[in-house]
Amino acid sequence: MARRPIIDVQHRFFIPLWRRIAVVAICLGWGLFEFWGGYTFWGSLFVGIGLYCAYAFFLAFDPPEEESDL
């Protein structure tokens, strides 16, 4: 049985560029907000998620091919 990832970054929902940018910006922004508040664990967690999403969305992103109705 094939393993499915926890977060499917190759999903069709993420094809528009603005959605990928928004997810990365929100994660990094929230991480910086947590660091500013003194919560280093949560800051590290969200910055790590943001960096992972940045890699997955902009370097390794391979959008699914369009399905034809034929």
pLDDT score at 60:
84
Q: What pLDDT score does 45 carry?
A: 96
- pLDDT for position 1: 65
Spans of the chain, pLDDT less than 50: 70
pLDDT of residue 50: 95
Say how far apart CA 35 and CA 44 lie, in whole Å. 8
What's the pTM?
0.80
Three-state SS for the chain is CCCCCCCCCCCHHHCCHHHHHHHHHHHHHHHHHHHHCCCHHHHHHHHHHHHHHHHHHHCCCCCCCCCCCC
Q: Provide the pLDDT for residue 12.
A: 84
**Residue extents of the structural domains in the chain:** 13-58
How far is residue 8's CA from residue 35's CA, in Å, rounded to a whole number?
A: 27
> What per-residue confidence (pLDDT) applies to 38?
95
| pLDDT, position 64 | 65
